[in-house]
Every structure is written in structure tokens, then in C-alpha cells.
């Protein structure tokens, strides 16, 4: 979370703000400069704006990008199928992907369309954490797409070479999983409620 | 599948098999490369220490590395110097050993004649020495070839090492880029696992052999046994071979004990030294270092070593274990995949 956003939140909530705004002016000028490295369209500037890596410092992002693999997919190319073994976590660097569920084995049909993910969104985090992961959905490139992937061996290497960075990344990935679990629990609760209502009506 | 993707897949497999074919067809390049790769794997953990961390940490590890190299080179030079002395001593003692052997055989012949009344007419000692001399002259005729291979290796190994230490990252990235998307995840993970298993196995075996060789040398020095450095070195090298290695390692020591006329040499002490060194290896070093990396049934290991020796000689015996461990991993993955698809 940035300093500016923190202040804005305090203003919105009606909390008191500090008398003196202590913005590191040099950092601000550096980041605002058109010559700044962060403003160029690089993997570094890409990750500066990815929400998952909010807590990462500039140097940590720079190190993190060293462990990524850039993979290019043409439109309609299958990235992975439901039931495939999963080993990686992908960030959408360019383009968009479609996610399908309920894909049947040996069928040409991809299944039911679930959602379209755009630039800076991510998918496949379970593949990185689970010991023997099976992909829970089919992912297909909607257009020509570039993905940045991190895989199990990369995470192992990261934990070995930069343990703090590895632990931070694992924490962020666990947070994504926790959020998804929370969403799922809420959905299950609401479905249960609907089922109960239906039972009462019947 | 899109036509271009199919072409990419076929091209990738063609390149892969062409590379394997090239490696099989040109062992003069493959063997020094394999040797350089083993050296690279042994020193790879050090390079990560020297390239990561803060400047202070890197300086600390670099100083530690230089100190370590200096300290480890000194005993190595000492060992090689002493090995040279051992060899010279052995050559000088050869006529004496020959006479000793003939004397012992004569005593044996007399014993057989007195006990069973049978006269032994064969002379295996002269035959053996003749064969040894023939072998020696054959070895001498091979010297020019051996020397040219040695100089070839002297040129190629540092070159390959330079490539592996400084260029392999870039080359690896290009190789990974060439892998088609449809098989990328699995290929990359399996390739990394194989690399990790092979590296861990080589390092573990290197440390294990060094420890065993040191123990044997120290033990032999303690009881004043001749040629302690050569025999320790041989015990360390042969220990690389699983199960049969320690047995092969003790043979030269037993031969030396049998051939020498020294009354101070005790077979029991010699056996105890090798037994203790191998027990330390089996009880402490192997379970801590190697077993976790290999994780194979002992019968499979023995069968693999025999198959390895048939296919690739001594080198085959050494490298077959990590290959089998990798194939086990590969089959497990395929089996898991199939069990889900069913």
C-alpha cells in the first residue's frame, strides 16, 4: 500500500492525518520522471503494478523477474487443460485468456466458459503450492498472449538463493489462496441457504 | 493442434534426438564434456554463494573460498607427491617382490609334494610376471595415444568448464525457449529434477569418497602399512561404485600385504581399517548424504551397476544410478498421469 493511498483512506474514514506530509520528494520525482526505469514497459514496470507483489521492494521485484519464464501463445492455443499436472503460476503480461470448467476427457469441447482474465491478472497458483496438482480448469489464449510463468523448480531455487524473497512470494501466494478459499466459503454458504429456502418451499 | 505448433514440436524432438545421436557418435567430445560437467556440478554450489548476497557477504564467501582452496590444495599436492614416492618405491621393490613371490610359491610346491606326493610342474609366477611385462610394453605403446588424449582433454575440459560456468545460463534459457508450450511445464520440471538429482549424487559421492579415502589413508599411516596414499586414493575412487566398490578397493591392499615380506604387517589390522572405514561410510556418511538422493532398492542398484558396466564400462557404472533414479521419477509421473486419466 502506498503512502498516498494510506492518507486518502484516512481522509475518507475521517481519521486524523499527520500535520506534516512526509513524502520522500526525491523518490516521488524519480518515479514521476519520464526517464525512470519504472515507467518503461518492462517486466519490472509490469510487476510494479501487479497487486500480488505490492509488498515487494524495487530490488525484490528486480530479483523476482530473474526467476520468470516468458511464454508466447497464439490465439486459441491451449495453455493447459483441466486434469493436467500443474507445476506453474502464470501472470498475464500481454493479451487475455479464457477459463473453462467441466471439460470432459477426450472431448474437443473446452467445457463451460467461466471468466476472461486480462493483463496483470494471474492464474494457476495452486500448481506452485500443491505437491501433486491437477489443473482444475482449462485455460485457452483468447488472443495472441504473452505469459510470465514461475514453476516449482524456480520457487525452490528462489528459496535457496533468496530465502526472504521466496518466503515473501509464498506468503503472497498463500494470501491469494486464502482469498479464493474465503470466496468459495461464502459461495457455498449462499448456495446452502438457497437450497434450504428451496427445501422449505417444496 | 495448430499446424505451426505441430511443426515446432516435431522440430524440437528432431533437434533433441540429433543432439543425443551426436553425443553417442563423438565420444571424444562427449567424454571430456561429461567430465567437465561433473566438475561443474561439484563446484556449482560455491558459485551461487559467490554471486548472490550483499557485497560484504560475497567478499566473505570469496575469502573463504580462496582459503578453502589453498588449504585443500596443499594436502592434495602432498598426496600426489607421496603417491609419486610410493610408485617409485614400488618400482624399486619389484625385483624383490618377484623373488619373494617365487620363494613363497616354492614353499607351497614343496608343501603339496610332501602332503599329497604330487609335483606341480606349472610356474604361474613366471607366467604372471611375463604377462605383466607384456602388459607394460603394451601400455608403453599406448602412451602416445594416451598423451594425445590427455592434451586434448587439457584443452577441451577448461573450455567446456568456461562454457558451463559463464554461458550455460544463456544457453539454458535458449533451450527452454525452444521447448513447445504443450510440453513445456513437464519437460522443464523433469529436466530440473534430473539436473538436481545428478548434481546432488555427484557431490554426495565426491564427499563420500573423500571421507572414506582419508579414513583409509590415516588408518594405513597409523599401522605403518606401505603405500598408504595410493591405497587410500584407490579406496576412495573405487568407492564411487556402489556395493562392489569397497570390495575392489581392498584388493590392492591385500595383494601388497601378501607380496611383501614385512613381518610387521598384520592382515587383521588391515581388514579392521577397511572394515571401520566402510562401516563409517555405511552407517553415517551414506545415509546422510547419498540415500536420500538415490532412494532405490538395493537389488535395483546392483542390477543397474551390472547393466551400466556392460553399456558404458566404469563411467557407465558411476552414472547409471542417477539415471535410474531419474527414470523412476519419470515413470512415477507417467503412472500418476495415467491413473488420473483412467
Average pLDDT over residues B327-341: 75
ipTM for the predicted complex: 0.73
For the stretch B19-23, contacts whose Cβ atoms lie closer than 8 Å and that sit 24 or more positions apart, written own/partner, are none
- pLDDT for position A47: 81
> CA B197, CA B295: separation in Å to the nearest integer?
11
> CA B193, CA B1: separation in Å to the nearest integer?
28
Dihedral sign of CA atoms A111, A115, A119, A125 in order = negative
Tell whether A73 is within 8 A of chain B (Cβ): yes
> CA A146, CA A79: separation in Å to the nearest integer?
11
Q: How many CA atoms lie within 13 A of B3 on its CB side?
A: 0
- Domain locations in chain A as residue ranges: 33-201
> What are the cell numbers at B214?
582419508
- pLDDT for position B330: 81
- pLDDT for position B154: 80
Contact A98, A140 (CB under 8 A): yes
> CA A44, CA A119: separation in Å to the nearest integer?
14
> What are the cell numbers at B302?
546392483
- The closest alpha carbon to B270, from B235, B240, B242, B241, belongs to B235
Contact B95, B125 (CB under 8 A): no
> What are the cell numbers at B318?
558411476
> What are the cell numbers at B259?
607380496
Tell whether A79 is within 8 A of chain B (Cβ): yes
Closest residue in B to A134 (Cα–Cα): B340
Q: Cell 427445501 sits at which residue?
A: A199
CATH topology of domain A33-201: Jelly Rolls (2.60.120)
Chain A residues whose CB is inside 8 A of the B337 CB are 85
Q: How confident is the model at residue A146 (pLDDT cuts 50, 70, 90)?
A: very high
- The closest alpha carbon to A146, from A40, A38, A42, A39, belongs to A42
For residue B116, pLDDT over 70 is answered with yes
Closest residue in B to A86 (Cα–Cα): B185
Task: Tell me which residue in A71, A77, A80 faces B2 most closely, judged by beta carbons.
Answer: A77
Residue B220 C-alpha from the chain's centroid: 22
Q: What is the pTM of this model?
A: 0.68
- pLDDT for position A18: 66
Q: Cell 538415490 sits at which residue?
A: B294
Q: Cell 526472504 sits at which residue?
A: A164
Task: Tell me which residue in B182, B192, B336 faces A153 most closely, judged by beta carbons.
Answer: B192
For residue A1, pLDDT over 60 is answered with no
Average pLDDT over residues B188-205: 83
Mutate to test the interface with A, among B9, B49, B181 (most CBs of A within 10 A): B181
Give the residue, B261 or B252, on which the prediction is more confident: B252
> CA B67, CA B61: separation in Å to the nearest integer?
10
Q: How many CA atoms lie within 13 A of A194 on its CB side?
A: 6
> CA B255, CA B258: separation in Å to the nearest integer?
5
Closest residue in B to A152 (Cα–Cα): B189
Contacts with A, B 144-183, CB within 8 Å:
176, 181-182
> CA B207, CA B289: separation in Å to the nearest integer?
8
Contact B120, B112 (CB under 8 A): yes
The 3-state DSSP composition of chain A as helix, strand, coil percent (nearest 5) reads 45, 20, 35
**What do you get for the CA distance between the two ends of chain A, in Å?**
50
Contact A114, A176 (CB under 8 A): no
Q: How confident is the model at residue A90 (pLDDT cuts 50, 70, 90)?
A: very high
Dmax over CA atoms of chain B, in Å, equals 89
Contact B233, B212 (CB under 8 A): no
How many beta carbons lie within 10 A of that of residue A133, not counting itself?
A: 18
- pLDDT for position A19: 64
Mutate to test the interface with B, among A89, A104, A153, A166 (most CBs of B within 10 A): A153
Give the residue, B272 or B80, on which the prediction is more confident: B272
Contact B304, B322 (CB under 8 A): no
- The closest alpha carbon to B294, from B186, B182, B205, belongs to B205
Amino acid at each position: 500500500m502506498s503512502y498516498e493511498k494510506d492518507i486518502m483512506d484516512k481522509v475518507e474514514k475521517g481519521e486524523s492525518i499527520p500535520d506534516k506530509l512526509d513524502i520522500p520528494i526525491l523518490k516521488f520525482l524519480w518515479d514521476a520522471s519520464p526517464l525512470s526505469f519504472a515507467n518503461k514497459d518492462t517486466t519490472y514496470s509490469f510487476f510494479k503494478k501487479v497487486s500480488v507483489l505490492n509488498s515487494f521492494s524495487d530490488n525484490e521485484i528486480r530479483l523476482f523477474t530473474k526467476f520468470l519464464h516468458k511464454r508466447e501463445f497464439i490465439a486459441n492455443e491451449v495453455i493447459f487443460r483441466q486434469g493436467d499436472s500443474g507445476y506453474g503460476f502464470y501472470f498475464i503480461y500481454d493479451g487475455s485468456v479464457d477459463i473453462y470448467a467441466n471439460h470432459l476427457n477426450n472431448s474437443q469441447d473446452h467445457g463451460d466458459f467461466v471468466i476472461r482474465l486480462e493483463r496483470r491478472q494471474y492464474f494457476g497458483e495452486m500448481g506452485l503450492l500443491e505437491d501433486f496438482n491437477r489443473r482444475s480448469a482449462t485455460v485457452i489464449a483468447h488472443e495472441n498472449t504473452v505469459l510470465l510463468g514461475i514453476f516449482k523448480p524456480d520457487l525452490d531455487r528462489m528459496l535457496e538463493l533468496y530465502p526472504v524473497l521466496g518466503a515473501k512470494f509464498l506468503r503472497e501466494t498463500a494470501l491469494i489462496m486464502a482469498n479464493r478459499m474465503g470466496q468459495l466459503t461464502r459461495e457455498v454458504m449462499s448456495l446452502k441457504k438457497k437450497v434450504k429456502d428451496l427445501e422449505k418451499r417444496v | 493442434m495448430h499446424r505451426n505448433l505441430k511443426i515446432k514440436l516435431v522440430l524440437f524432438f528432431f533437434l533433441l534426438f540429433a543432439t543425443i545421436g551426436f553425443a553417442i557418435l563423438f565420444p571424444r567430445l562427449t567424454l571430456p564434456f561429461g567430465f567437465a560437467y561433473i566438475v561443474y556440478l561439484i563446484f556449482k554450489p560455491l558459485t551461487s554463494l559467490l554471486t548472490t548476497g550483499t557485497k560484504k557477504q560475497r567478499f566473505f564467501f570469496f575469502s573463504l573460498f580462496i582459503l578453502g582452496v589453498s588449504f585443500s590444495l596443499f594436502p592434495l599436492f602432498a598426496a600426489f607427491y607421496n603417491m609419486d614416492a610410493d610408485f617409485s618405491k614400488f618400482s624399486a621393490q619389484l625385483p624383490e617382490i618377484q623373488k619373494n613371490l617365487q620363494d613363497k610359491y616354492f614353499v607351497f610346491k614343496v608343501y603339496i609334494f610332501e602332503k599329497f606326493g604330487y609335483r606341480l610342474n606349472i610356474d604361474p609366477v613366471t607366467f604372471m610376471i611375463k604377462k605383466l611385462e607384456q602388459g607394460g610394453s603394451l601400455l608403453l605403446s599406448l602412451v602416445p595415444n594416451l598423451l594425445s588424449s590427455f592434451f586434448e582433454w587439457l584443452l577441451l575440459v577448461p573450455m567446456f568448464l568456461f562454457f558451463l560456468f559463464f554461458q550455460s545460463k544463456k544457453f539454458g534459457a535458449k533451450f527452454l525457449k525452444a521447448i513447445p508450450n504443450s510440453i513445456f511445464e513437464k519437460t522443464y520440471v523433469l529436466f530440473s529434477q534430473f539436473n538436481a538429482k545428478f548434481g546432488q549424487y555427484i557431490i554426495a559421492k565426491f564427499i563420500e569418497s573423500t571421507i572414506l579415502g582419508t579414513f583409509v589413508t590415516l588408518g594405513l599411516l597409523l599401522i605403518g602399512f606401505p603405500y598408504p596414499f595410493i591405497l587410500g586414493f584407490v579406496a576412495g575412487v573405487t568407492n564411487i561404485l556402489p556395493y562392489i566398490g569397497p570390495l575392489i578397493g581392498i584388493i590392492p591392499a591385500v595383494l601388497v600385504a601378501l607380496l611383501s615380506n614385512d613381518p610387521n604387517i598384520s592382515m587383521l589390522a588391515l581388514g579392521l581399517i577397511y572394515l571401520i572405514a566402510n562401516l563409517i561410510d555405511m552407517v553415517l556418511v551414506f545415509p546422510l548424504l547419498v540415500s536420500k538422493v538415490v532412494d532405490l532398492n538395493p537389488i535395483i542398484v546392483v542390477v543397474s551397476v551390472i547393466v551400466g558396466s556392460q553399456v558404458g564400462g566404469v563411467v557407465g557404472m558411476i552414472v547409471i544410478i542417477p539415471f535410474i533414479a531419474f527414470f523412476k521419477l519419470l515413470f512415477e509421473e507417467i503412472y500418476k498421469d495415467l491413473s488420473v486419466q483412467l
